[in-house]
Chain A
Amino acid sequence: MSTPGKAAKKEKKKPIPVKTSLNNPYDLRWAPLEKGQKAFILNCLTETIEALGLKKIQVRVKGLRSSRRRKSKQRDSKPPEAEKTARQPGWSDEASRRQLAIGINEVTKGLEKDELSLVLVCSSIRPAHMISHLIPLSRTRAVPACQVPGLSEGLSGALGLSSVLALGFKRGDTAFSNTVGEIASKVPPLCVPWVPTEKEGQKRKLDLSHEPGQDPTPTLQPLKVKKTIPNPSKIRKPKKKKASAQKQKK
């Protein structure tokens, strides 16, 4: 490029190019819970779960190879033992298990089919995009959804699972309907700007004059623009030297 002499004279530092990009006008976030409500929700849930005695029993298989060797040796000496635990591996209460949707995939499917009445999500989930799709999903089906910090820690022990990242309660008369009602009343509403807020009454046009705060038609969000510096450690392909290629052709 420039000779070292010229560089010494001018010492022009290249200004860092700033890239402008269109940012998403909707910033979908989980509504923050008040302090006391988290403990209240967890207590409610653990009480109902323990009252039902709902738990998953998992038989640990320690060292498959060693157990096979032991089994072949012990066949003659000891009579074949059935599983050590008295219960079969699985869920203790199948009917109650069907009234819950445990796991992100189950909760998503339940929301798509409009089967759920309440959705609870753990805040310890990382990366957040695993659960961000539940916000618009639950808002479109008008299902109260809430992010509870420490849901996984609190309920995994009670249910006998390693982690509970998402929990959904199905509609209808279930063993959980009382708890669902109590929790749902405390859950703050989710804000998704493009979903129109529906009023229960049929006379929407007449109500507009009385309650100007709630708009049935969504408002235009302001333009958000992001300005970023290009990544200095970006891996780029080396540019082919056109001068040497032309000389070779000649």
Chain B
Amino acid sequence: SFRFKGSITTFQRLNFLYQAAHCVLAQNPQNVELARFYCFTQKTIARRLVLRQDPSVKRTLCKRCCSLLIPGVTSTVRQRSRRRQSVTVIRCVSCGLTRTFPNNPKHQLWVDQPEAQSASDRYKWFLKYHVGNFLSLLNFVPTEAQNQPSKAAVQGDKPAKSTGAASSTPNPTS
């Protein structure tokens, strides 16, 4: 459906907390606790409302202590060779949790593959064709927060009915 699960404002909150944690560490690299609190709040909100976060965001958060992992400041990154496979090891400085990523040149996350992105492209095409105002929803600017949700609620019904027709016709073969 064209409605966001949860609301745009919660995604805004997550986005703001994430960026605030970065800024905190940029200004004071020793203040890891505040950045950790922001990321902990971000995780809690996402867990409570069951919102999905992209791997590019989740990989920068420590799973154990929820601190923001910035290489050089709060985490160390090393290349190791595990038997025959070379591996990138990210280690959280505060809690010592290690995350390993095998260096497979052919591997690509499903989220980054072009097949998965087709949803947003179809969505964009539909918006451009039918509702021009909705484009700004994808690159959301906080100052227009008051206008957007009302429009989303009003025009949410029309696209929802025709999604069935639009999305079912170009059906990817499963």
A225 touches B138 (CB 8 A): yes
Any A CB within 8 A of the CB of B101: yes
Binds B, one of A31-39, A57-65, A79-87, A103-111: A103-111
B11 touches A24 (CB 8 A): no
Given the complex, which residues of A lie within 8 Å of B172, measured CB to CB? 16, 229, 232
B142 touches A229 (CB 8 A): no
Closest chain A residue, CB of each to CB of B18 = A25
Number of interface residues of B (CB under 8 A): 61
Among A105, A126, A136, A194, the residue within 8 A (CB) of B19 is A194
Any B CB within 8 A of the CB of A248: no
B70 touches A136 (CB 8 A): yes
Instruction: Say how far A76's CB is from chain B's closest CB, in angstroms.
Output: 40
Chain A 219-236, CB within 8 Å of chain B: the 1/0 string?
011111111110110100
Any A CB within 8 A of the CB of B31: no
Instruction: Say how far A241's CB is from chain B's closest CB, in angstroms.
Output: 23
Any B CB within 8 A of the CB of A161: no
B140 touches A229 (CB 8 A): no
Instruction: Say how far A30's CB is from chain B's closest CB, in angstroms.
Output: 15
Tell me the residues in window 6-34 of chain B with beta carbons closer than 8 Å to chain A beta carbons.
Answer: 8, 11-12, 14-16, 18-19, 22-23, 25-27, 29
For the complex, what is the distance from the CA of A15 to the CA of B53, rounded to whole Å? Answer: 22
Given the complex, which residues of A lie within 8 Å of B52, measured CB to CB? 19-22
Among B56, B119, B141, the residue within 8 A (CB) of A227 is B119
Given A22-B53, A22-B54: A231 in contact with B78 (beta carbons within 8 A): no
Among B26, B76, B139, B174, the residue within 8 A (CB) of A112 is B76
Number of interface residues of A (CB under 8 A): 45
For the complex, what is the distance from the CA of A21 to the CA of B76, rounded to whole Å? Answer: 27
Binds B, one of A42-50, A127-135, A204-212: A127-135
Given A22-B54, A130-B103: A220 in contact with B4 (beta carbons within 8 A): no
Any A CB within 8 A of the CB of B37: no
Given the complex, which residues of A lie within 8 Å of B71, measured CB to CB? 108, 133-134, 136-137
Given the complex, which residues of A lie within 8 Å of B76, measured CB to CB? 108, 112
Given the complex, which residues of A lie within 8 Å of B111, measured CB to CB? 21, 226, 228
Given the complex, which residues of B lie within 8 Å of A8, measured CB to CB? none
Instruction: Say how far A11's CB is from chain B's closest CB, in angstroms.
Output: 10
Given the complex, which residues of A lie within 8 Å of B54, measured CB to CB? 21-24, 226
For the complex, what is the distance from the CA of A18 to the CA of B22, rounded to whole Å? Answer: 29
B119 touches A136 (CB 8 A): no
Among B15, B72, B73, the residue within 8 A (CB) of A22 is B15
For the complex, what is the distance from the CA of A229 to the CA of B78, rounded to whole Å? Answer: 33
Chain B 29-60, CB within 8 Å of chain A: the 1/0 string?
10000000000000000100001111011001
Any A CB within 8 A of the CB of B133: no
Task: List 24 A-B residue pairs with CB atoms under 8 Å apart, sorted by A's residue number.
Answer: A15-B163, A21-B52, A22-B18, A22-B46, A22-B51, A22-B57, A24-B56, A25-B19, A105-B78, A133-B90, A140-B26, A140-B29, A140-B73, A194-B22, A194-B26, A218-B23, A221-B15, A223-B139, A224-B15, A225-B138, A225-B140, A227-B123, A228-B117, A228-B119
Q: Which residues of A contact B (CB under 8 A)?
A: 13, 15-16, 18-26, 104-105, 108, 111-112, 126-127, 129-130, 133-134, 136-137, 140-141, 194-196, 217-218, 220-229, 231-232, 234
Q: Which residues of B contact A (CB under 8 A)?
A: 1, 4-5, 8, 11-12, 14-16, 18-19, 22-23, 25-27, 29, 46, 51-54, 56-57, 60, 70-73, 76-79, 88, 90, 101, 103-105, 107, 110-111, 115-120, 123, 138-142, 163-164, 167-168, 171-172, 174
